[in-house]
Amino acid sequence: MNSKKIIHKVLATNDQWSTLSLRIVLGIIFIAHGAQKLFGWFGGYGLQGTAGFFESQLGMSPGILWAFMAGAGEFFGGILVLVGLFTRLGAANLAFTMLVAIYTVHSGAFFAPEGMEYPLALFAASVSLVISGGGQLSIDRQIAKSQESA
């Protein structure tokens, strides 16, 4: 399979509007959560504080690496999903991040305050975008349309 076909498969999407609201909400949520971990915005602890939590509470060492990976995955994956650029790849990254969160942080209970229902819902929404792609008003759709006409 040549690279043009691979790129077309990654960017291919339907013409539905339903994914737009999902992309906007999911993107904003993940951008904010990533910014909490990376920069300490929105009441977060920043990279050092998150790294300390990952090491001391979760046993994930080196904490700085795992904190950066989680924060960057959420922040940049959220941006990709929000704008609809490489939506499937961004959403797959977010889904994987939520699986790790469910396993490492939230596996002890289903309901709040420590439960997995919130990351599980974010996981399901991310998987939905992996399946559907970016939909209407996504950069993916615009690139795919321009490749078809070329």
Structure token digits, residue 142: 């615009």
Residue 142 CB partners (closer than 8 Å, separation 6+): none
pLDDT reported for residue 101: 92
pLDDT tens digits for 19-60?
999 999 999 999 999 999 999 999 999 999 999 999 999 999
CB burial of 94-132 (b: ≥16 within 10 Å; e: otherwise) equals bbebbebbbeeebeeeeeeeeebeebbebbebbbebbeb
* Sign of the torsion formed by the C-alpha atoms of 7, 77, 119 and 70: positive
124-135 average pLDDT score = 95
Cα–Cα nearest to 87, from 141, 15, 149: 141
85 phi and psi, to 5 degrees? -110, 120
Percent of the chain with pLDDT strictly greater than 70: 99
Model pLDDT, residue 128: 96
CB 13 within 8 A of CB 140: yes
Instruction: Give yes or no for residue 150 having a pLDDT over 70.
Output: no
- Residue 99 in contact with residue 23, Cβ under 8 Å? no
Cβ pair 62, 101 in contact under 8 A: no
What is the pLDDT at residue 133? 93
Averaged over 105-133, what is the pLDDT? 89
d(CA 74, CA 67): 11
Mean pLDDT of 79-95: 97
Domain ranges of the chain: 17-149
Q: Quote the pTM value.
A: 0.91
> Do the beta carbons of residue 15 and residue 141 sit within 8 Å?
yes
